[in-house]
Amino acid sequence: MCKIIKKIICIIIIALVLFVGITIWGKGGDKFRWIGEKTGGIIKKGADKLGEKADEIKDKTEAIKKEIKEWTGKEKPEDSSQK
């Protein structure tokens, strides 16, 4: 029984890591919606919900990246005359 629970927990952790990876480095929820379009039915509804959540996470990460660039000063254009 412990082995089954351990395997289920590992699968859930791997699925969460893949979801976050696809969301951040992918195109947000577009890939999840594409899977839903190809399958249909209940899977389509779940894929739409995953897509919406992925879009929210993608928007938040973009906003955080922008704030970090502003804080570090990397967003400002460099002057070529100061070289």
- Domain residue ranges in the chain: 16-57
Instruction: List pLDDT tens digits, range 12-59.
Output: 999 888 888 877 777 777 777 777 777 777 777 888 888 888 888 888
Instruction: List pLDDT tens digits, range 58-79.
Output: 888 888 888 888 888 776 555 4
d(CA 47, CA 50): 5
Burial class (CB in 10 A: 0-12, 13-18, 19+), 37: exposed
Backbone φ, ψ for residue 79 (5° rounding): -90, 130
Token pair belonging to 13: 């952790």
The residue assigned the tokens 């502003």 is 70
Q: Longest C-alpha distance within the chain, in Å?
A: 69
Q: pTM (2 decimals)?
A: 0.58
